[in-house]
Amino acid sequence: MLRENHIAVMLMFLFAVLLGAAMIGLSAVIGRVKRDPTKLSVYECGAPPSGTSRERFSVKFYLVAIFFLIFDIEIVFFYPWALIFRRQLSLGPLILIEMAIFLSLLIVGYLYIWKKGGLEWD
């Protein structure tokens, strides 16, 4: 059985997909395609391209990006938790303890990464 919240989320998802498809379709129909060597060349902040496109990056760059994604996605879990906490006041202490455990694990993970030097660019 679908609740009103589920219907609203599905309608929002459908709207986003249709809007994206409409924008891509309109740009293909309306947009002019004029190919020339200048437009097809690699752009590096106004400077002529130097080196190869197969340049290697430091592993630290990827680690920082992965750490950001991990902690950013974990923070997203706060929103549904806050909604449940607000509606289920009878379960308040239990839900609060669960979030305290979740936050402590996040903080311990962050401190571990910091201690190991995972956030340093040098």
CA distance 33 to 104: 54
Pick the more confident residue, 122 or 81: 81
Mean residue pLDDT across the chain: 81
Measured at the CA of 50, the angle between CA 49 and CA 53, to 5 degrees, comes to 85
- Which SS3 state, helix, strand or coil, does residue 41 take? coil
- Domain harbouring 86, CATH code: 1.20.58.1610
Domain membership of residue 92 (yes or no) is: yes
* 9-38 residue pLDDT tens: 899 999 999 999 999 999 988 987 778 877
Number of domains in the chain: 1
| Alpha-carbon distances of 5 from 12, 19, 49, rounded to whole Å | 11, 21, 51
pLDDT band at 81 (very low <50, low <70, confident <90, very high): confident
Domain membership of residue 23 (yes or no) is: yes
| Alpha-carbon distances of 53 from 4, 56, 112, rounded to whole Å | 50, 9, 34
| Alpha-carbon distances of 96 from 72, 80, 102, 109, rounded to whole Å | 21, 13, 10, 20
**Rounded percentage of the chain residues whose pLDDT exceeds 90:** 20
Q: Can you give the pLDDT at residue 58?
A: 76
Look at residue 86 and tell me whether its pLDDT is greater than 60: yes
Domain membership of residue 121 (yes or no) is: no
Domain membership of residue 91 (yes or no) is: yes
Q: Can you give the pLDDT at residue 44?
A: 62
Domain membership of residue 67 (yes or no) is: yes
Q: Residue 30 is part of which domain span?
A: 4-116
User: Quick check: 95 and 85 in contact, CB under 8 A?
Assistant: yes
Q: Can you give the pLDDT at residue 65?
A: 83
Task: Give the pLDDT mean for 91-109.
Answer: 84
CA distance 3 to 118: 43
Domain membership of residue 34 (yes or no) is: yes
Domain membership of residue 35 (yes or no) is: yes
Pick left, alpha or beta for residue 120 (phi over 0 → left; psi -120 to 50 → alpha; otherwise beta).
Answer: beta
Q: Can you give the pLDDT at residue 15?
A: 97
Domain membership of residue 122 (yes or no) is: no
Q: Which residues contact 99 (CB under 8 A, 6 or more apart)?
A: 81, 85
Task: Give the pLDDT mean for 92-112.
Answer: 86
